Amino acid sequence: MMSSLHDLSDLRICILGGGQLGWMTILEGRKYPLTFYVVDEPDAPACRIADKCYDPRDYRYAVDSSDIVTFEFEHVHSDALNYADERGKLLPRLSSVVLKRERWLEKEFYRKHNIATPKFYIHDDLNEVISTVKNEFNYYTVIKRSRGGYDGKGQYFIKSKEDLERCIDVLSKVKDVLIVEELVDFDFEASLIAVRNNSRFTNYPPTYNYNEGGILIYNYGPLAEDGIVKKMVEITKKISDTLNYVGVIGVEFFVKDDNVLVNEFAPRVHNTGHYTLDAATTSQFEQHLRAITGVELGDTSLLSYGGMVNILGLSLSEVPLDVLRFGIIYWYHKKEVRKRRKMGHINIVGRDLRDVETKISNVMGILYPNGVKPLI
């Protein structure tokens, strides 16, 4: 049982993965008397500000030297994730990671626990895939690889016979299981960021999300408290409780009329929760640290309306300083610019949703004068 800050100062937190999520976790964590290790290459954003950076090949040493191991991304360093879990140090626990390693396990988890999700079929034979696309969904589907999918990777959106035919070649080369999912004609996408520890669950209000090509472009909120929001909270609580989850969790939804369908969950801090750094009492990053270290969870209420615009595939010289008139920049200091790569984001606060929307639209116009398409 911890009683003073001194107990925190004994804790060495190891973060597997050194991307922007780990970077923001350490930035927020620096306010606490904690020590941060990161497992990633030395030029990774989080490694640049960690107390120590471990080469991924030395993950055993990193885990052994740490008191608590967490991760900023569930799709890397799988040996390290396994090893930390075996040592009883991993939070959130491996049970949530396992569901993300194979998308079909995540989908089956929803089915088993009666959690509404788009209709789906799991196939390991291309002919079955084709037949399902045709006969069950009349070509209106998204085909997803079971492994390694995030930010729209490994997903194929089909709306016609021709779309399907264009994909056949690629799909025939896929070795893992494929999921054929109903393409939901949603009214909007939303997500909910929540946090759970051994004694409590609490959530931030959900946000509207705008994705293109499977990658988040911007989001903002909060959504007005109503029946839909209530359903999102219930679902997120059910997922968290079922997994006996500890840490921050992000759940993405499709909303159509009064219906709420889970798209997927992320067992970590989430891109749609970045606005909490500036618009909420406690940020999702600090909240995650509170949860895994056993400190009382922070207040999740918002101080204002807020949102965020991702900076995708742009170099420093392609980001006009003008954007700083509308918000707060977070530049991730990544070594290389790549197409679709998240290079930074702009956090926005406002006095109401309209104000936030206007600022987002201004920032979008400055960052992407030719639209976001060419960059993703």
As a whole number of angstroms, the distance between CA 26 and CA 15 comes to 9
Here's the x/- map for a second copy, 5-34, by CB under 8 A: it reads as: xxxxx-----------------x--xxxx-
Residue 352 lies near a second copy (rule: CB under 8 A): no
Question: Which single residue is written with the structure tokens 């399902």?
Answer: 132
Q: How long, in residues, is the chain? A: 376
CB nearer to a second copy: give 3 or 127: 3
Residue 134 lies near a second copy (rule: CB under 8 A): no
Residue 68 lies near a second copy (rule: CB under 8 A): no
* Positive or negative torsion for Cα 20, 23, 28, 34: positive
CB nearer to a second copy: give 1 or 224: 1
Question: Which single residue is written with the structure tokens 């669950």?
Answer: 201
Among 15, 286, 288, 291, binds a second copy (CB under 8 A): 286
Cα separation values, 91 from 81, 151, 282, 289, Å:
10, 23, 20, 10
SS3 assignment, position 231: helix
Among 333, 353, 357, 362, binds a second copy (CB under 8 A): 333
Q: Which one of 72-80, 182-190, 259-267, 314-322 is the stretch in contact with a second copy (CB under 8 A)?
A: 314-322
Among 113, 256, 324, 338, binds a second copy (CB under 8 A): 324
Among 65, 82, 304, 358, binds a second copy (CB under 8 A): 304
Q: Which one of 78-86, 112-120, 228-236, 280-288 is the stretch in contact with a second copy (CB under 8 A)?
A: 280-288
Contact 275, 14 (CB under 8 A): no
Among 134, 159, 256, 325, binds a second copy (CB under 8 A): 325
As a whole number of angstroms, the distance between CA 373 and CA 376 comes to 5
Residue 76 lies near a second copy (rule: CB under 8 A): no
CA angle (150, 151, 155) in 5-degree steps: 70
Among 105, 126, 183, 295, binds a second copy (CB under 8 A): 295
As a whole number of angstroms, the distance between CA 90 and CA 8 comes to 17
SS3 assignment, position 349: strand
Among 315, 338, 354, 365, binds a second copy (CB under 8 A): 315
Residue 42 lies near a second copy (rule: CB under 8 A): no
For residue 273, give the DSSP letter: G
Work out the burial of residue 9: count CB atoms within 10 Å of its CB; fewer than 13 is exposed, 13-18 middle, 19 or more buried. Answer: exposed
CB nearer to a second copy: give 7 or 136: 7
CB nearer to a second copy: give 4 or 135: 4
Strands 207-212 and 247-256, bridge-based pairing: unpaired
Residue 197 lies near a second copy (rule: CB under 8 A): no
Among 4, 135, 172, 199, binds a second copy (CB under 8 A): 4
CB nearer to a second copy: give 155 or 304: 304
Token pair recorded at residue 80: 């390290």
Residue 303 lies near a second copy (rule: CB under 8 A): yes
CB nearer to a second copy: give 164 or 366: 366
Contact 161, 181 (CB under 8 A): no
As a whole number of angstroms, the distance between CA 25 and CA 72 comes to 9
Residue 318 lies near a second copy (rule: CB under 8 A): yes
Number of shown-chain residues binding a second copy (CB under 8 A): 42
Neighbours of 321 (CB within 10 A): 8
DSSP string of 130-143, one letter each residue: HHIIIIITTT-EEE
Site residues, a second copy (CB under 8 A): 2-9, 27, 30-33, 49, 278-279, 281-282, 286, 290, 295-296, 298-299, 303-304, 315-322, 324-325, 328-331, 333, 349
